A and B are shown apart, each in its own frame.
Chain A
């Protein structure tokens, strides 16, 4: 299958690969997918006191399009507030990376990973403040 230039660029030069300390209360971690389905994404965000995502990291087991989708997701969430990040849609990722129909599930997984990381961050902070989310 032919890959778009952008997918190849993210695959060859993935942005923000790595890990943040998952027990840190300012860090939200989302792990989505399953090994038997052929893709697992881990996306992490670090949120500052103003509610802005100041850093993001990912690790992905999956095809080139899955790696590119998660790499792009980390780029996009950086600098956004938690609420802004929640508005990123998989269709935006499909468009940006020119993903073919058979690879749309990669973008869905990246959106799920963002949401899972945001939810984890909110859960931790709600717990810290003693309120129920």
Chain B
């Protein structure tokens, strides 16, 4: 059975809004449009109640002990900026050193680099060849001056899950704040800011079947009480941490999406994980020289990142144009550099250029997986037939021994 085309399988980039989430948010655009800060009339009060409910939903999804610990933002990028820069600025007197890892999202890396320009010192730790960092590795990088550790829950390219609980416990034992970018983690892996000792946690709606343009930052209030310097000043919304009229429909949607994501995670993970195994198994059964990038099991169920040796990623994407996926190839980026995440794993540039990221999500079906396997196998075979590298390998030439000209 041919599924409807094109197929969307790039759910790490963004997700479709779940119809249940859309239904929850729609009334807040038209009939219930009040400003949540207008406490003097019923329009405002019902909006405020909706915001309170959404805050509760997000707090519960993260295992937070109080809804007061949730600050709404425009998305994970803003949450990352506010959490990292806001905490660093507040702790400046206590220290000037931050520890993070080199496979973080650009929103974290660039926030850290902005702090470097202000005089902070940042250690960007390497990861192992499966994309993981250990608590011991981080602890070894701490100094007397370290004020913050920033480690993501789940990597956006390879889906690997970092050992948050161990990292958090170590940070708390050493009296250092633990910031976690959980944009790709919420609803995909268990998250609990209490059990994992997370002090600051960034999430976004559009990775969990909610709309773009809304996210949240968890800010611990007890043991320790985390204080932040605000970046956006104004009417003092969100306890002064993020001024600006609350986007009630978006917050309602984030709350609904977060509640659904966590409630449905066990069943959804099992279903999506089976689809991922079907995709991986189908591809490797029909194609040789397909290499998995990232840890084989400590990864989110929906992520499959593979290198199809001797076939450049962008040309593969062109061939499977009715299946939306993404590539770590340089040709898909503006920089002409292949994926820095794969590079950090020690994946050769030549294999990084051949990598494809499949992101399976809530709305993908078995028929779509089977169609994708067929298309990828067909196009990889066609492109290998016209690849000079494949020809050399078939002739028994070791590509590493060739004197390439470069350009």
Q: Which residues of B contact A35 (CB under 8 A)?
A: 349-350, 353, 389, 399, 404
Number of B residues whose C-beta is below 8 Å from A?
30
Number of A residues whose C-beta is below 8 Å from B?
34
> When each residue 35-52 of chain B gets 1 if its CB lies under 8 Å from chain A and 0 otherwise, what string results?
000000000000000000
Assess A59 versus B318: contact at CB under 8 Å? Given A32-B405, A38-B329.
no
Min Cβ gap B1→A in Å is 25
Q: Which residues of A contact B386 (CB under 8 A)?
A: 14, 17, 58-60, 67
Check A38–B404 contact: CB distance below 8 A: no
Does chain B have a CB within 8 A of A102? Answer: yes
Chain B, 377-391, CB within 8 A of any chain A CB? 385-391
Q: Which residues of B contact A61 (CB under 8 A)?
A: 310-312, 387-390
Does chain A have a CB within 8 A of B69? Answer: no
Does chain A have a CB within 8 A of B315? Answer: yes
Q: Which residues of A contact B349 (CB under 8 A)?
A: 35-38
Question: In the bound complex, what is the Cα–Cα distance between A31 and B407 (angstroms)?
Answer: 12
Assess A102 versus B336: contact at CB under 8 Å? Given A11-B315, A34-B407, A35-B350.
yes
Of the candidates B318, B319, B353, B391, the one whose C-beta lies within 8 Å of that of A38 is B353
Min Cβ gap B22→A in Å is 30
Check B331–A33 contact: CB distance below 8 A: no
Check B314–A33 contact: CB distance below 8 A: no
The residue of chain B having its C-beta at the shortest distance from the C-beta of A59 within the complex is B388
Does chain B have a CB within 8 A of A63? Answer: yes
Check A105–B312 contact: CB distance below 8 A: no
Check B350–A36 contact: CB distance below 8 A: yes
Q: Which residues of A contact B399 (CB under 8 A)?
A: 35
Check B407–A63 contact: CB distance below 8 A: no
Chain A, 47-87, CB within 8 A of any chain B CB? 58-64, 66-67
CB within 8 Å of A: which residues of B? 310-312, 314-315, 318-319, 329-332, 334, 336, 338, 348-350, 353, 385-391, 399, 404-407
CB within 8 Å of B: which residues of A? 1, 3, 8, 11, 14, 17, 19, 31-42, 58-64, 66-67, 102, 105, 108-109, 112, 116
